[in-house]
Amino acid sequence: MRLLFLGDIVGRSGRNAVIERLPGLRERWSLDCVVINGENSAGGFGINEAICDEILNAGADAVTLGNHSWDQRETLVFIERQPRLLRPVNYPPGTPGRGANLIDTRSGHRVLVINVMGRLYMDPLDDPFAAVDREVEACPLAQVADAIIVDVHAEATSEKEAMGHHLDGRASLVVGTHTHVPTADHRVLQGGTAYMTDAGMCGDYDSVLGMQKDESIRRFLQKTPGPRMEPATGEGTLSGIAVETDDRTGLAVRVAAVRLGPHLEETWPRFWG
């Protein structure tokens, strides 16, 4: 299978980059499954139903969230009727929505997508390792799922790396989100799981983590309240990771970083052309 994961969409710039580029990438790279983190897609804070539909219609098979899951209050309602929108699986029981789902892709494959949130320097949710274990054990790779993609929305690099090694050999891809900066450590772990500490963001990199620079800088200089942060509005860049898996095992055989757009050095999976 050919998998593409894209990092956090930040505001209109990120949405435009996804909507304009993703349909062509799906066709050119013959992608079997695309997962995108959309937790900053609505003005930099959360997601709404119209934007979720827009991302799915552009070619995403699933959309994941994170610590901004509920910034748009309507998400508490529409997430119940949208099975391809996932919030962190380790929210307490009774939280609206779901944190994992077995997605039927356009190419006829079944992909288990799991969204989990770390606990270091984040909200103290339930144990992310135990939560992911339950989902993977209920839907094992190469037995029920053709591929398993885990989005670890976390602040600490150590927690993301630990999750990668914990799931090595049991997932196709473990990829971090949240910090909006793409890391250079994409690789296939010893057990065959593709890993990247952070996929980066889909947004304007002439910014501070996708937000306009002036207010971000002012907050560091003055430490006083100010206007609401707003997403930067320049041309967006797609950032993420591409993975090719073995059809028999569902494990990764090749992996490459994806960066398409201005400000960062462009790169893509050259083994796909």
Q: Which residues are catalytic?
A: 68
Amino acid occupying residue 130: A
Burial per residue of 81-117, b for 16 or more beta-carbon CB atoms within 10 angstroms, e otherwise:
ebebbbbbbbbeeebebbbbbbbebeeebebbbbbbb
The residue written with tokens 């990829």 in the block is 175
Burial class (CB in 10 A: 0-12, 13-18, 19+), 165: middle
Nearest Cα neighbor of 105 from 61, 69, 138 is 61
Q: What's the CA angle centered on 171, arms 165 and 177, to 5 degrees?
A: 70
**64 Cβ contact partners less than 8 Å away, ≥ 6 residues apart:** 35, 36, 37, 38, 39, 86, 113, 115, 151, 153, 177
Total residues found in the chain within this entry:
273
Q: For residues 218 and 226, is the Cβ–Cβ distance under 8 A? A: yes
Tokens describing residue 273: 């052309």
Contact (Cβ atoms closer than 8 angstroms) between residue 111 and residue 102: yes
